[in-house]
A and B are shown apart, each in its own frame.
Chain A
Amino acid sequence: MATTVVSRKAARPHGISARRRRAAYALLTPGGIWLVVFFVGSVLVMGYMSLKSGGLLSGGFRFTWSFGNYVDALAGRQMFFLRSVVYAGATTLGTVLLGYPAAYWIAFYGGRFKSALLFMILLPYFVSFVIRTVQWKFILADNGILLGTLKDLGLLPEHFRVLSTWIAVIGGLVYNYLPFAALPLYVAIERIDRAVVEGAYDLYATPAQAFTKVIFPLSMPGVFAATLLTFVPATGDYVEAEILGGPTTRMIGNIIQTEYLTRGRYPVAAALSMVLMFGMVVLTSLYAKLIGTEDETVAAAVGA
């Protein structure tokens, strides 16, 4: 959507003179360089590091085209990759299912309270997410506020626990990414032309038909953005798994973090991180091809 608006304006005859074009490139330079150095540059350096060999304590690492690092890195780690993808998939489904009705209600019926309601959804972001996650540890504690009460009422068996299980980890992920998904959903639903919805009703659509045939398809850019913005970061996340989970819920992020920061096996850790990154690129481009939404729309949904 944003593309058409911008290009129409910029295509006007007096839109871009050579001088303006020079000014545009000049303005792009500082921010552009920063992004190229710290995003592209750092990933290239990580790729370089992933091909080194040696040890932190045995004279450092040297570049030797050690593709074996990738074999070492992946050996026995498939389970962690798989678990991360499954957890992130469940999280994505959860955030979209939970977030969509609320985004819909705010967009269609929020009236003049829209901004205030949206602000409420974003409220968790005013608290550090490590603290938020720790609060869930309290809420979900074996004999804490929630489970303790339910056990006292006899609604749950005494040995029932949520902490250290996948329920706690996925629950924590859903909680932390829900606002991230709700926002693009809201933006997309809000942009839907009401006249089109009215038109569906005028053509005798039932509310269910109006939703499945008109509203939902038109909100697809938001669903696309929401799933990407949840799935990709959730796959690499390790904080929920660390705080709320246990040995059976370790995700690939936990492994990368340990290899880098605790064991100092930089080449292997870098290889794992590269695999994760390429995996995400492949999955998201397949998904983008399947859904067929432009990056521009997604970015616009994220930005507005």
Chain B
Amino acid sequence: MSAVVGAPARTVGAVAPDTRPPLRRPRVRKAKLALGSYTTLLMLYLVSPILLMILYGFNDIPGERQMPRFWGFTLDWYRNVFADPSLNEAVRNSIVVALASAAIATPLGATLGLVLGRYVFRGRAAVNFLIFIGIAIPEIVLGSSLLSLYIEVRAPLGLFTILLSHVAFSIPFVAVTVRARVAGMDRSLEDAAQDLYATPVMAFWKVTFPLILPGILAGYMLSFVLSLDDFVISNFVSGQVQTFPIWVYGATRIGLPPTVNVFGTILFVAGVLLALLTAFGRRREA
């Protein structure tokens, strides 16, 4: 159909070039509308499990295990959200590890990103490659090799090995985030600072650092979320300790209690609010 519409446009265009753009418009608008509707549907598909998770946190089921049917509305699961000590501990472990690993991985990754975005030096390709591998390696390969390492050096498996592993897989993500920010930065500002007799250290803290700070914050958030969500690697290196995803995975066989949905919903809302606050804060800064 579009070919038929297109044909006259081309002939007219060939004769009188000035009339070309307006004649092309309707078809673009149609494509735009179709793509827009498609994207809306896709987003609906992407959020449907999340909506279901939130809804089922209010499910008034008979018994303790979630079933694929909505029985009625209740706030009981919110009231008794801390009823299961093992689940509480798993959630606490997840939050502690996520905070600690993001705090460690952010400076380590940010310095890598800063140097890579900034300097050409011998070994740069190797470092870039290492970071690429860190992002592209299948989680199961990383998880199993980390477990091999801990077994070999007889490190007791637990929160500490989970933390070491989370820092490791977060560093590459922080590094690429900061590197992208540094690469897009206007170097002349820093040069100007030095022309105005700022020492390199002063120029860094007064000019460069504030400019790349959004990248660093994004890297921090990313590593926090990656750590909180990680299952595969944690499952390999955790020993008997459970994090939230490990607890949920273990419970899927017997059925999930709706308190999992409640925790999931709380973490979801907190994460979204935090992301929105960061975004708005950044906009005000700009």
Binding site for B on A (CB under 8 A): 2, 5-7, 9-11, 15-16, 20-21, 24-25, 27-28, 30-32, 34-36, 38-43, 45-46, 48-49, 98, 101-102, 104-106, 109, 115, 117, 119-121, 123-132, 134-139, 141, 143-145, 148, 175, 178-179, 201-202, 204, 206-208, 228-229, 232-233, 235-239, 243, 253, 256-257, 260-261, 266, 269-270, 273, 276-277, 280, 284, 295-296, 298-300, 302-304
Contacts and interface: CB of A to CB of B under 8 A. Distances in A.
Nearest to A208: B2
Contacts of A105: 32, 35-36, 38-39
Most buried by B among A7, A21, A34: A34
Given A124-B47, A127-B268, A38 B146 contact: yes
Most buried by A among B38, B120, B172: B120
A94 B42 CA distance: 13
A296 B36 CA distance: 31
Contacts of A269: 144
A225 to B, nearest CB: 10
Given A139-B49, A266-B151, A303-B177, 16 more contacts: A10-B118, A16-B121, A28-B112, A28-B127, A46-B145, A102-B42, A105-B35, A127-B268, A128-B228, A128-B244, A131-B264, A135-B49, A145-B68, A178-B46, A206-B10, A207-B2
B53 interface: yes
A128 B118 contact: no
Q: How would you classify the secondary structure of chain A's contact residues: helix, strand, loop or mixed?
A: helix
Contacts of A233: 136, 138-139
A35 B138 contact: no
A171 to B, nearest CB: 11
Given A35-B171, A207-B2, A277-B138, A128 B245 contact: yes
A275 B120 CA distance: 35
Contacts of A232: 136-138
9 contacts: A105-B32, A121-B43, A130-B245, A132-B50, A204-B10, A204-B13, A206-B2, A253-B138, A299-B179
Interface stretch (B73-81, B206-214, B229-237): B229-237
Most buried by B among A105, A178, A228, A270: A105
Contacts, number: 292
B106 to A, nearest CB: 10
Interface of B: 2-3, 6, 10, 13-14, 20, 24, 27-28, 31-32, 35-36, 38-39, 42-43, 45-50, 52-53, 56, 66, 68-69, 107-109, 111-112, 114-115, 117-121, 127-142, 144-149, 151-152, 164-165, 167-168, 171-172, 175-177, 179-180, 183-184, 187, 225, 228-229, 231-232, 235-236, 244-245, 248-249, 252, 256, 260-261, 264, 267-268, 271-272, 275, 279
A235 B139 CA distance: 10
A121 B187 contact: no
B10 A109 contact: no
A132 B51 CA distance: 10
B172 A35 contact: yes
A35 B248 contact: no
A210 to B, nearest CB: 10
A129 B132 contact: no
A238 B235 CA distance: 12
Nearest to B222: A125
A166 to B, nearest CB: 19
B133 A228 contact: no
A92 to B, nearest CB: 13
A294 to B, nearest CB: 10
A6 B53 contact: no
A189 B152 CA distance: 46
Contacts of B267: 126-128
* The 6 residue pairs across chains A and B that have the minimum distance between CB atoms: A236-B138, A303-B176, A135-B49, A38-B168, A31-B108, A144-B68
Contacts of B275: 119, 126
A254 to B, nearest CB: 10
Contacts of B179: 2, 299, 303
A50 B189 CA distance: 53
Contacts of A304: 180, 184
A198 B264 CA distance: 46
Contacts of B271: 126
Contacts of B13: 204
Contacts of B129: 295
Contact of B52 (A135, A206, A236): A135
A46 B152 CA distance: 9
Contacts of B2: 206-208
A120 B38 contact: no
Contacts of A237: 138-140, 232
